[in-house]
Chain A
Amino acid sequence: MTATAEHVTSTRPPEPTRAKVFIVPLIVFTIAIGFAGFLGEIGPLWGAAVGAITYGLFRWVRMTDSLIDAGTLVVAGAVGFAIFNLSIAARDPGVTAGLALQSSLGIAFFGVATGWVVLRHSPGLRPTTILLSAAAWGGGSYMALLTAVQMGFLDRIIEGQTQELTYPMFIAVTVASGVFGATANVSFWSRLSSPFAVGFVVLTSILAWNEIGFSVVEIWTQFTRIGEFLGDFWPPDFFWPRSIGQPETFNMADALLETFQIAIVGATIGCTFAAPLAFWASRATAPNSTVYWISKSFMSVIRTIPDLFWAVFFATAVGFGKPFAGALAMIMFSLAIMGKLLSETVDAINLGPLEAARAAGATHNQVILRAAFPQVAPNYVAYALYVFELNIRASVVIGFVGAGGIGRLLDERRQFFQWDQVMAIVLVIFASVLLIEAVSIYVRRKIV
């Protein structure tokens, strides 16, 4: 290729520095923290997580550009951490309040140092900024780690080898944090390719991995012994009342029927009441802002409560072992799901027909029913089928807390360690869920 005169005059833009600046330190950081995680060192993870959040807060401060705000945030962060530490102190007799306060001071120091650097920081990459940032992060991590050791976070895992293991860890984490601090101030944040997001995900994963004692080795070990367990589960016993010779009180068919009935009642009534709620919780169709906010908050709260909690809640209220409780639980469950799906759809409707109906002198209810509802009707039907499908799945589960259905049977058999019978029930659940799903998908495809 020969360059022409035009090529000479046009300037090439510099390659964005992000890739080079970040990838290597990020890998180093990840490995260091990952190493810490696999050794079971929780303290540095806390330190780094808190550091990341503090860093974020100071980025925010930088936008407001006020030292007073910064001070407020440091104090708030320190107080927050003191409360957190004190709650740990309250739980663990080995940690005194003095130690907890000391650790809070460490965090506060960390916050001030980071905040100072960040406040001084301006866009661009200056050696002093990098150095200061590295110092702040490294120092902060060191302090966090130190307090973690003092508070006994590390004792559990290290078991007597504290001295030998901790000092290399101290150095590793300090260096890693320093590198992180040095690079983080370059401050590119483009979607997920940022140190913050990756760092957060990695940290949280390692922390969670440790805390719940996850182990790949364990999975493999148990997998190799799969034959032993299969013997317990196989062959499934579909006809236990007869085989045991008990009188048939509550057999599989009854249980399955009850599950279906609960799902039908829940889906029908829940979806019916969800419709007005969804229209109230959408700005375009709400009669006024009070109704809008009330229905919107009501829906977001009921959405947070899992199906099983509803079941135990209603079972406690109206009596255990009654399918009525299950039906009530499924009503709330359906209401929550349908309300969310439908109100999102209503948010997206074409407002033109609503204006046309209003211009023709329609009342608010007429506008909703004749101009808004027809627009979402096919979605409503599709969602209702989906909700019914979810209800079948969920009503399997709610039997566990005494709210009726096939789950009740599953729980009962499980408690007798009758694994072949459990397997039979699981297979029946499996088959009915697949069947319902197939029917629901078929009908939905026909409608929409």
Chain B
Amino acid sequence: MTVPDLTPQAMPDMVRPQEPKWPQIIRWGVTLGILIPLIWSVIGLEISPQRLWAAPGEVWVLISGMFPPDFSNPGDLMGKLLESLYVAWIGTLIGAAFSFPAGFMAATNIAPRWMVIPMRGILSAIRAFPELVLAIIFIVPFGLGPFTGALAIGLHSIGTLGKLTSEVIEGVDGGPVEAIGSSGGTRMMQMRFGVVPQAMPNIVAYWLYRFEINVRASAVLGLVGAGGIGAEIVGRLRFRGDWPKAGAALILTIVAVLLIDAVSAAVRRRIITGQPSKSVISKWMIAITGSHREPSMEIKS
């Protein structure tokens, strides 16, 4: 291979910069920073090559034990699944209702500083408790059952939704808010007509997104006796060894979650863009909502 002489005669006094050293240092630093803790953890968890080698086989035994799944009592499973969905729904409702004002109180462009800082502290403190831990605490006063699960999920959702809501509110265009203020609008009016119309689509989309997450969370809460399909799966796998039944519950959960995710994603897209997407699910959604007509046409008629 010959390198053609590309040296230009026209600019002889051009200076080549020194190649900086720091990218190399960072590269090795990051590599070691990942590898050393990994090795430490692998040793600490006693993960040996033999166990790694055996794992796929053991997983396969379990999966083949789950098939064919036992759908002999679908009503029962459906009931449990519905209970999980109800818990998720109410949890999301609680989260949405309380996070909405909380989000305003935690937004720097709306609330005064003395309110924002403690509000943010409260929200992140709430978020630091996983739903399961909250459920364990709530079981003491409220007893076993879906009610406790909904409370735990609701409280945790206030934390996460509150943070997201305040971020959306902080992202709104300040112009309209200022315009309302300059024409004599009160603080309340500024929020109602300046902030809410801009932020609402994104906030509602986050509610839906939280519902998707809460469906998974509520499925899990069954484990500590907070209702739902989780107890069905965990109990049958862990204590009763009834693998086909657990397989049926697992498949049902997966299908339900997939469906909810798909519908919710289509609705979210529509809320944010105002336009239906082209997927099958959203066509179905359009069919249900009858939104194929342009809004401008509706105003005319």
Contacts and interface: CB of A to CB of B under 8 A. Distances in A.
Given A91-B75, A318-B51, A327-B45, A196 B132 contact: no
Nearest to A212: B146
Contact of A13 (B46, B130, B150, B299): B299
Contacts of A72: none
A235 interface: no
B86 A208 contact: yes
A261 B40 contact: yes
Interface stretch (B10-18, B166-174, B186-194, B230-238): B230-238
B93 interface: yes
Interface string B25-65: 00000000010011011101111000100110011011000
A268 interface: yes
B289 interface: yes
Contacts of B105: none
A218 B130 contact: no
B289 A265 contact: no
Nearest to B52: A324
Given A213-B145, A312-B238, A265 B42 contact: yes
A327 B301 contact: no
A419 B271 CA distance: 45
Interface stretch (B1-9, B111-119, B133-141, B177-185): B133-141
Nearest to B255: A304
B290 A59 contact: yes
A439 to B, nearest CB: 13
B38 A400 contact: no
Contacts of A208: 85-87, 89-90, 93
A192 B82 contact: no
Nearest to A272: B34
A410 B146 contact: no
Contacts of B45: 258, 261-262, 265, 323-324, 326-327, 404
Contacts of B175: none
A190 to B, nearest CB: 5
Nearest to A125: B301
Contacts of B85: 208
Interface string B259-301: 0010000000011001000000000100111111101001111
B162 interface: no
A188 B90 contact: no
Interface residues of A, number: 92
Given A91-B75, A189-B291, A304-B258, A205 B93 contact: yes
A264 B39 CA distance: 10
Contacts of B132: 308, 396-397, 400, 407
Contacts of B130: 393-394, 396-397, 429, 433
Contacts of B199: none
A328 interface: yes
A192 B230 CA distance: 32
A318 B55 CA distance: 6
A401 B145 CA distance: 19
A308 B292 contact: no
A192 B258 contact: no
B38 A264 contact: yes
A191 interface: yes
Contacts of A190: 291, 295, 298
B223 interface: yes
B287 A60 contact: yes
A329 B45 CA distance: 13
Q: Which of B41, B137, B292 counts the most A-chain CB atoms under 10 A from its CB?
A: B41
7 contacts: A60-B287, A91-B76, A123-B293, A225-B141, A262-B41, A309-B253, A402-B238
Interface of A: 13, 16, 18, 53, 56-57, 59-60, 63, 87-88, 90-91, 123-124, 187-192, 194, 196-197, 204-205, 207-209, 211-215, 218-219, 222, 225-226, 229, 232-233, 257-258, 260-262, 264-265, 268-269, 300-301, 303-309, 312-318, 320, 323-324, 326-328, 393-394, 396-397, 400-402, 404, 407, 410, 414, 419, 422, 426, 429-430, 433-434, 437
